[in-house]
Amino acid sequence: MWKSLKRTLVGNPISSEQAQHERLNKKTALAVFSSDALSSVAYSTEAILLVLLAAGSIAIGYLVPIVIGITILLAILTLSYRQTIHAYPSGGGAYIVAKDNLGTQPGLVAGASLLIDYILTVAVSVSAGVAAITSATQGTRLDFLHEHRVALCIFIVIFIALINLRGVRESGAIFAGPTYLFILSMVALIVVGFFRYYATGQTMPIPSAENVHYDQSVGSVTHSALTGGALLWLLMRAFAAGCTALTGVEAISNGIPAFQKPESKNASTTLTWMAFIMTVLILGTGFLAYKLNAHPAGAEETLVSAMARHTFGSGVFYYGIQAATAAILVLAANTAFADFPRLASLLAADRYLPRQFANRGDRLVFSNGVVILAILAVVLIVIFKGQEQAMLPLYAVGVFLSFTLSQSGMIIHWLRERKSEEAKARILKQEEQQSLHRTEDPGAATHARERLRALERDKGGNWLLSTLINGAGAVITFIVLIVLTVTKFTHGAWAVIVLIPILVAMFQAINRHYKLVAAQLTLGQVKPDRPPMKHRIIIPISGIHRGVLPALDYARSLSSNGHQITAVYVEINPENTEEVRSQWEVWGKGVPLKILSSPFRSITKPLINFINEESELHKDSITTIVLPEFVPKAWWQQLLHNQMALLIKGKLLFSKNIVVTSVPHHLRR
Amino acid sequence: MWKSLKRTLVGNPISSEQAQHERLNKKTALAVFSSDALSSVAYSTEAILLVLLAAGSIAIGYLVPIVIGITILLAILTLSYRQTIHAYPSGGGAYIVAKDNLGTQPGLVAGASLLIDYILTVAVSVSAGVAAITSATQGTRLDFLHEHRVALCIFIVIFIALINLRGVRESGAIFAGPTYLFILSMVALIVVGFFRYYATGQTMPIPSAENVHYDQSVGSVTHSALTGGALLWLLMRAFAAGCTALTGVEAISNGIPAFQKPESKNASTTLTWMAFIMTVLILGTGFLAYKLNAHPAGAEETLVSAMARHTFGSGVFYYGIQAATAAILVLAANTAFADFPRLASLLAADRYLPRQFANRGDRLVFSNGVVILAILAVVLIVIFKGQEQAMLPLYAVGVFLSFTLSQSGMIIHWLRERKSEEAKARILKQEEQQSLHRTEDPGAATHARERLRALERDKGGNWLLSTLINGAGAVITFIVLIVLTVTKFTHGAWAVIVLIPILVAMFQAINRHYKLVAAQLTLGQVKPDRPPMKHRIIIPISGIHRGVLPALDYARSLSSNGHQITAVYVEINPENTEEVRSQWEVWGKGVPLKILSSPFRSITKPLINFINEESELHKDSITTIVLPEFVPKAWWQQLLHNQMALLIKGKLLFSKNIVVTSVPHHLRR
């Protein structure tokens, strides 16, 4: 039953040979990998405004420079990541880039922060998607959905997990439509919004104070007092809030191997498209919100919902925009479901996570990663009660930490590349010189000179430009990281700061264990010829009945070449002992029976003691415990029997030179 | 670590020989077995008033006749149960009496209803005890306790369970003090209460309407309309509410074997003491509440707390009474912890419950029963949020059902006894007659006549009186049962009515299973001489490493008398196969290696299929799977390895003619 349920939900198994076909074209890849980055527009403008407006309505004026700043940051990141994509065609996630160029520790830090962020991506995006739905349903007959927010979120997470367990291409096909619908509907909102504003000059109504829950951490600063330090702090906080728009930019560079060939070129083109669309949406919504003097109402209704309602009224267009927003936010979670399992499998392949994460399931998906991600995201959603604005402070820190590590890694990458080029050039120069001296082959010198020139022409100034681009990226993302950490520390970012080193320590403990195991399993010092084993056999019996006979027969068939064999009976009620002894005379076939007394009525304890003593006495032998075991017909019947076999097996698992053999007696009814 | 924690909490093991010493003297037994019955005074008067006062203040006048009616019912029950105690000196719980005299089905019904009621006893008493505490702390700095009611209840349940896991005498010693303190303080409350009332004439203040939550099920009936049906319904409901005072009366008759010798006499005396004390407390609190015109305030403060505050003020005496009330209520839960495990063990011994309930733990306690009771009580407390008045409608139905069954059983018991006496008398009369005719032994007739007279003198009219007493008990408890069921059905009693048949069906399913197992285990048709077994051995290997060698050696030592042996390797990554094959040439010692391909990357599936096919092909042989198994040093390391051995064992457990042997390879680090 469980099996057929699994097949219905997840689909039939796919064989390893079909693996190659599961690749994405550019349009599908844009949907799969950029929904995270695109969808953050649905909450990032609101997050900026919630910070700014706490300092007074007039602070909305800072919205425009902040969104411009964020798009500049986006441009730098895009340039940086295009380089990474070409330098690491097999997938240049921050983990790999940092590990290759900066060393294991920075690589693990990047890996840990990315894993945390993927979990947050799922939790934040699904919660924001549900907020888009409940914004639309408020005041309608579906108003009750707001109450059941958390259940709705969990349902959606499970739905996405199931789609991902089916496999990556099918999920791409499901997700492409809504992504493009979202892009279209946001562009429509921006265009129509501006048109309507310039036609009518109408701004949005400002909600009454008691309905609005602005971020109060900037204190009671009023706009007139906003100078110097206070103003800087306000702008830093607003900018940090807006940086959540940039989470997900790195997704494409992690997922290059999922692209159709040529992978790097396709991925790089897709990244540029994505950055362009993001810039349009960030600037468009930012400017429009500024012009409309939008004041988000906090928990009740999202900013996008309010702007759409203002622009289109509560009609078909409005509901279309809300549906598209909800859909892309839900899809954003899907990005994490593509990336988390892939990163976990890389860590597992390097032995920093349990090897189970590196196994592909029968649909070629890293199923364990998908399942764990779903569980952890649900835990987060439950903790934060599905409120995405409460999770945002935890969100961007990990992303920018991995950005910084990845960009710094790329600097080292280019410097190394340059060194190897210089080395190559030196060798060519030497060849040229030598051939000049030798003169017997005048063409050789010319040839070497030509190769040298080609080398310089191809790569010449490139390393410098590349280093500068990634250098700028590294410096800027590092500054943003500091700003994020400082401004969001007390709002939850501390948890991420604490968790990262714990995860890194865990990775290292796991790695240490695997290395120790490998060392213990090498055949290096083992001789192929080992002396034959001696056996002793013990059969614990609970009485004389039919269930004991197969075990006795089995033990006797093992002992036919002279191994010693003993039956053991633990006496709980001494009245029965004589009966057991005389019955054994009939059925025991000459195997000696040992009676163990048990003053404290435990069956296992005297038995385990006896077995351990015997094993101690005969250290040169293997002691085999032949255990008669009931197997009932239905699982619930198992509960009606003492779990002696299980207990005994569990207690002997860690004893040396002891082997436990269960001889099942199958009950027919 | 777990072991030493267990020893600290539960104590050192007690050997079976010490069993006899764990008996209770009368004073301790009164504390252990009657705290349930005595403590119900703490909520039963309040329960009656909550029903009456819903019909208007003046209905308090019915309180006095109702408490008198309840004490009459108590007297009848006491007389009935004294007879049961003498007739069933080894413990005459309703289960045994009903089963012996009415048959299995009624016995199981009684057993089910008692089990349910013991769980309710724990939940209700602990909740009421916590209510006594929070009544006392309201308005003080400890006011916050009211909020954490449920947590407090759970803590107390766990505490009682631990004491009971230590063993019955020790728990008696702990519990004796508070029981007597409660009796004393209640007597003091009644005496001082009346004294103060007659000295000052002061009645209690009536709380304002909005603070009072009376039972509204009698509807909007006002006192003036209380005639005929409405009045009868009110009185029935009030009486039913008061019947909760009588729960626990049967406890002593269930627990006779725990008394010191002579058990029956001691138990019967203890029962009379208990009934006397209960009568004093029920009448005393009832009359006092009537005189003081007490109006309980519902959830905020208990009736006993309000009366004590009125009588003594909020001083030391008041807090003493609350402490004693809380203490005895908590102890009442302990009665169930003595009785539930004992009844469960009787049912288990008769094979109606899993046999694990019949095992005594290492402290001579039926530990499994204690643990299960604690868990179920906690579940109830959580469901009802620790409000004992909400649980009361479920409470008394089971008790009175078992009362009725037990009393009916006793009627049959006496009728049977009479029959056997008559049969004896008939034999004696025949002997007398015969000896008269024979005349060779004239003394024999006289002797027979004397024995006949003695028989008539001893038991003569007794059977009639006994039948009448138990008959009256049966009729009255049956009427009360009907009243309880009708008046409380929609308030929760339906759940008990539904649950009892489900439990009975479960008992019977369990019994059926055990009987089937016993039938399948008899040696009846088995011949002691069976042909020797043929063996085939299969070793699944995951690669060639040190962990595989012990298994190989072990398998070879088994196969030395000609059993066939095969190694099996599942190929996930075909690139490694050649390496494995050539390595096996070196290490395999001539054992053939079978390579299984796995297109869907599953390790277990091809392996299990292969094993099953082999086993099918060679039905005359036993197939032994020798499984190399890693045993890591620390438990968490287990998570880092694929649980192949476990999966394989699980999947083969239900296959016939297959035996699985794990050969452990212990990792040292």
Measured between beta carbons, the chain B residues lying within 8 angstroms of A16 are: 599-601
pLDDT at B14 over 80: no
Count other C-beta atoms under 10 Å from residue B394's C-beta: 25
The shortest CB-CB distance from B516 to any of A14, A622, A669 is to A669
Helix (H, G, I), strand (E, B) or coil at B622: strand
A111 near A406, Cβ under 8 Å?
Answer: no
Q: Could you tell me which residues are beta bridge partners of residue B536?
A: B564, B623
Q: How far apart are CA B251 and CA B36, in angstroms?
A: 8
Please tell me the predicted confidence (pLDDT) of residue A231: 85
Sequence-distant (≥ 6) Cβ neighbours of residue B376 within 8 angstroms:
B119
| Rounded average pLDDT over A558-584 | 83
Report chain B residues whose CB lies below 8 A from the CB of A554: 533, 622, 659
Please give the Cα distance from A336 to A332 (Å, whole number). 7
Range list of β-strands (E), B477-600: 534-541, 564-571, 593-597
Is 70 exceeded by the pLDDT of residue B605? yes
pLDDT higher than 50, residue B269 = yes
Of residues B206 and A222, which shows the higher confidence score?
A: B206
Residue A178: exposure state from Cβ atoms within 10 A (0-12, 13-18, ≥19): buried
CA-nearest of B655, B621, B561 to A553 is B621
Return the percent helix, strand and coil in chain B, to nearest 5: 70, 5, 20
Is the pLDDT reported for residue A218 higher than 50?
Answer: no
Residue B612: pLDDT over 50: yes
Residues of A in contact with B517 (CB under 8 A): 630, 632, 667
Mean pLDDT value of segment A106-110: 94
In what order do the strands lie in the sheet containing A564-571?
A593-597, A564-571, A534-541, A621-631, A658-666, B658-666, B621-631, B534-541, B564-571, B593-597
Question: B347, B533, B542, B591: which to substitute to probe chain A, counting the most A Cβ within 10 Å?
Answer: B533
> Mean pLDDT throughout B397-402?
89
Average pLDDT rounded to a whole number, residues B80-86 = 89
| Among the ranges given (A53-57, A132-136, B128-132, B435-439), the one the predictor scored with the smallest mean pLDDT | B435-439
Chain A with chain B: Cβ pairs closer than 8 A: 160
Nearest Cα to Cα of residue A215 among A45, A392, A54, A55: A54
- Separation in Å, CA of B531 to nearest CA in chain A: 9
Q: What is the pLDDT of residue A426?
A: 86
Whole-number Cα distances in Å, A38 to A263, A273, A331: 22, 11, 10
Q: What is the average pLDDT across A142-153?
A: 84
Contact (CB<8Å) B522/A513: no
Residues 6+ apart with CB under 8 A from B444: B431, B435, B438
Decide which of A138 and B374 is more confident. B374
Tokens standing for A281? 């949406």
Classify residue B62 by its DSSP letter. G
A568 forms beta bridges with: A540, A594
Which residue do the tokens 């928990």 mark? A299
φ and ψ at residue A262, rounded to 5 degrees: -75, 120
* Of B362, B510, B587, Cβ closest to residue A640: B510
pLDDT of residue B2: 64
pLDDT at A287: 94
Rounded percentage of chain B residues whose pLDDT exceeds 90: 26
Residue B22: DSSP 8-state: -
> What tens digit of pLDDT does each residue of B270-312 get?
999 999 999 999 999 999 999 998 888 766 788 888 899 888 8
Q: Average pLDDT of B443-463?
A: 70
Residue A118 confidence (pLDDT)? 92
CA of A351: which chain B residue's CA is closest?
B640
pLDDT, position A70: 94
Element (H, E) at A122: helix A104-137
In this prediction, residue B510 has a pLDDT band, given cuts at 50, 70 and 90, of very high
> pLDDT for B641-658, tens place per residue?
777 787 888 888 778 888
Which residues contact residue A544 at a Cβ distance below 8 angstroms, ignoring those fewer than 6 apart?
A: A580, A583, A584, A587, B523
Has the ipTM of the complex gone over 0.85?
no
Q: How confident is the prediction for chain A on average, in pLDDT?
A: 84
Q: Which of A637, A649, A656, A668 to probe by mutation at the B interface, max B CB count within 10 Å?
A: A637
Of all residues in chain A, the one with the smallest CA distance to B524 is A546
Of A15, A523, A637, the CB nearest to B513: A637
Specify the pLDDT at position B112.
Answer: 95
CA angle A567, A569, A572 (to 5 degrees): 175
Better-scored residue on pLDDT, A144 or B48: B48
Q: What local confidence, expressed as pLDDT, does residue B123 receive?
A: 94
What is the C-alpha separation between B399 and A337, in angstroms, rounded? 56
Q: What percent of chain A has pLDDT over 70?
A: 89
Query: Which two tokens mark A291?
Result: 């012009």
Give φ, ψ of B628 to 5 degrees: -70, 130
- What's the pLDDT score for residue B638? 75
Cα B180 from Cα B277, distance rounded (Å): 11
Beta bridge partners of A472: none
Q: Tell me the C-alpha distance between B417 and B428, whole Å.
A: 16
Cβ distance B520 to A662 less than 8 Å, yes or no, reads no
Chain A residue whose CA is closest to B657: A664
Q: What is the pLDDT of residues A526-552, one digit of tens each?
A: 776 777 777 889 999 988 888 888 888
CA-nearest of A633, A500, A662, A403 to B520 is A633
A557, A653, A654 member nearest B535 (Cβ): A557
* Joined tokens for residue B61: 């006048």
d(CA A627, CA B522) in angstroms, rounded, equals 19
Average pLDDT rounded to a whole number, residues B246-256: 84
Q: Tokens representing B298?
A: 């519902």
Contact B561 A556 (CB under 8 A): no
In terms of pLDDT, which residue wins out, A615 or A562? A615
* Most confidently modeled range among A127-136, A419-428, B19-28: A127-136
Mean pLDDT of A513-521: 87
pLDDT at A17 over 70: no
pLDDT value at residue A25: 83
Question: Counting beta carbons within 10 angstroms of the beta carbon of residue A353, is it exposed (0 to 12), middle (13 to 18) or buried (19 or more)?
Answer: buried
What is residue A430's predicted lDDT score, i.e. its pLDDT?
85
Over residues A609-653, the pLDDT tens digits come to 999 998 888 888 888 999 888 788 777 777 777 777 878 888 887
At B281 the pLDDT is 94
Q: What is the mean pLDDT of residues B524-549?
A: 81
* pLDDT for position B244: 87
Task: Provide CB contacts within 8 A for B438, sequence distance 6+.
Answer: B444
Q: Note whether A271 and A172 are within 8 A (CB).
A: no
Rounded distance between C-alpha atoms, residue B602 and residue B605, angstroms? 6
Residues of A in contact with B600 (CB under 8 A): 13-16, 362
3-class DSSP string for B359-396: CCCCCCCCHHHHHHHHHHHHHHHHHCCCCHHHHHHHHH
User: SS3 for A293?
Assistant: coil
Given this model, what pLDDT does residue A381 score? 92
- Beta-carbon separation of B359 and A601 below 8 A: yes
Asked if the Cβ–Cβ distance from A659 to B530 is below 8 Å, we say no
B523, B532, B642: residue with CB nearest A355? B642
Is residue B560's pLDDT more than 70?
Answer: no
CA torsion, ordered A390, A392, A393, A395, to nearest 10 deg = 140
By Cβ distance, the residue of A547, A641, A653 closest to B664 is A653
Q: Quick check: A233 pLDDT over 80?
A: yes
Q: d(Cα A524, Cα B635) in Å, to the nearest integer?
A: 27
Q: Which of A6, A522, A570, A601 to mutate to test the interface with B (most CBs of B within 10 A)?
A: A601
* Interchain pair B554, A639: CB under 8 A: no
- Give the Cβ contact number of residue A517 at 10 Å: 19
Start-to-end Cα distance in chain A: 21
Distances (CA, A) of A298 to A243, A306, A329: 19, 11, 18
pLDDT band at B538 (very low <50, low <70, confident <90, very high): very high
pLDDT at A651: 82
Report which listed range, A24-33, A329-338, A374-383, is most confident: A374-383
Report which of B168, B188, B165, B185 is spatially closest to residue B177, judged by C-alpha positions. B185
Tokens coding A569: 């009976």
Q: Chain A residues with CB inside 8 Å of B354's CB?
A: 639-641
Average pLDDT, rounded, for chain B: 84
Chain B residues within 8 A of A663 when measuring between CB atoms: 659
Helix axis angle for A26-39 and A104-137, nearest 10°, is 80
Identify the closest residue of chain B to A547 by CA–CA distance: B521
pLDDT at residue B226 greater than cutoff 80: no
Which ranges of A201-302 does DSSP label H, i.e. alpha helix? 228-242, 251-254, 263-291
Following CA atoms B397, B400, B402, B408 in sequence, which dihedral angle do they give, to the nearest 10 degrees? -140
pTM above threshold 0.80: no
Q: Looking at residue B539, what is its pLDDT? A: 92
Half-sphere exposure (Cβ direction) of A350: Cα atoms closer than 13 Å: 17
- The arithmetic mean of pLDDT across residues B55-72, rounded, is 89
Mean pLDDT, rounded, for A490-494: 86
The DSSP symbol for A213 reads -
Q: How confident is the model at residue B218 (pLDDT cuts 50, 70, 90)?
A: very low
Q: What is the pLDDT of residues B98-143, one digit of tens each?
A: 999 999 999 999 999 999 999 999 999 999 999 888 888 877 777 7
Nearest to A16 among B362, B544, B599 (CB): B599
Euclidean distance between CA atoms A80 and A235, whole angstroms: 25
Exposed, middle or buried by CB within 10 Å (0-12, 13-18, 19+), for A613?
exposed
Cβ <8 Å between A599 and B547:
no
Mean pLDDT of B496-524: 89
Amino acid identity of residue B93, one-letter, is G
Helices (H) and strands (E) in chain B, counts: 22, 5
